[in-house]
Amino acid sequence: MQPTPDFDPGKLAKSLLRRCRQGALATLMTGSGDPYCSLVNLAAYPDGSPILLISRLAIHTKNILADSRVSLMLDERAPGDPLEGARIMLSGRAEMAGEGETEIVRRRYLAVHPSAEDFVSFKDFSFFRIIPAGTHLVAGFGRIVDLKPERFLTDLVGAEDLLDAEAGAVTHMNEDHRDTMNLYATKLLGAAEGDWRCTGCDPEGIDMQWDQSVVRLEFPERVTSGTELRKMLVRLAGEARAKA
């Protein structure tokens, strides 16, 4: 079934990857190969790929260490009939985060799940990242499509300076510009007023969270450095204030 002409499946898949904080993780049982499904918390790497913090004592972790093939279902939890909401079934391999990724996956995960600070240092817990092979998007009648990773992941090539600046930018926005974060959410995205905070920045936008609500503000054009990010945030703040 082909999507309707006005439908952008890649954009919707990207949005779900950024906004979802929980998902259903399917792994293969060691020995039998039977499917096993569990509920997991997750965060997003700067390219949008899912980050997991899981214990080696959990069955799904034991399964992954024996066979890294996984599937992850994410949905937008639409009110009413859940089947009316958009959802993606992401397939790929779950790989333990490398030494060079430890700082960024830890920071990004704790930004959206601060309560994990209580156990993130336990020896049996490790960060994993799902490296997608593809995804199946279901978003209603005429809106079912398979996507390759380049359609729903954010290209990080050339954005090294931005990634280096992300931690400082997030801290600065949350400590000194919470009023601006609220303006972004309410005036540019139509969200309810609240104590919005930034949880991450990437070349295509910034993610914000307040309690259980998550929104994403897309940039009008790609940014790849800390300087470009600062200019973009100032520009968007001006646009938000003009609508206040």
Q: Where are the domains of the chain?
A: 9-152, 160-242
So what's the pLDDT on residue 1? 45
Strands 43-44 and 50-55: antiparallel
Written as one letter, the residue type at 56 is R
Whole-angstrom distance, CA of residue 238 vs CA of residue 114: 30
pLDDT tens digits along 176-223: 999 999 999 999 999 999 999 999 999 999 999 999 899 999 999 999
Tokens of 111: 């930004």
Q: Please calculate the CA angle 117-91-149 and round it to the nearest 5 degrees.
A: 95
User: What ranges in the chain are assigned the alpha helix state H?
Assistant: 9-19, 59-66, 102-112, 149-152, 160-176, 178-183, 226-242
Q: 85 pLDDT band (50/70/90 cuts)?
A: confident
The tens digit of pLDDT for each residue in 160-178 reads 999 999 999 999 999 999 9
State the fold for domain 9-152.
Pnp Oxidase; Chain A (2.30.110)
Q: Check whether 99 has a pLDDT greater than 90.
A: no
Q: Which residues contact 10 (CB under 8 A, 6 or more apart)?
A: 147, 151, 152
CA distance 244 to 232: 19
What CA–CA distance (Å, rounded) separates 224 from 31? 46
Q: How far apart are CA 54 and CA 96, in angstroms?
A: 10
Q: Which fold has domain 160-242?
A: Split barrel-like (3.20.180)
Closest Cα to residue 95, out of 105, 87, 86, 103? 105
Residue 115 has pLDDT above 60, yes or no: yes
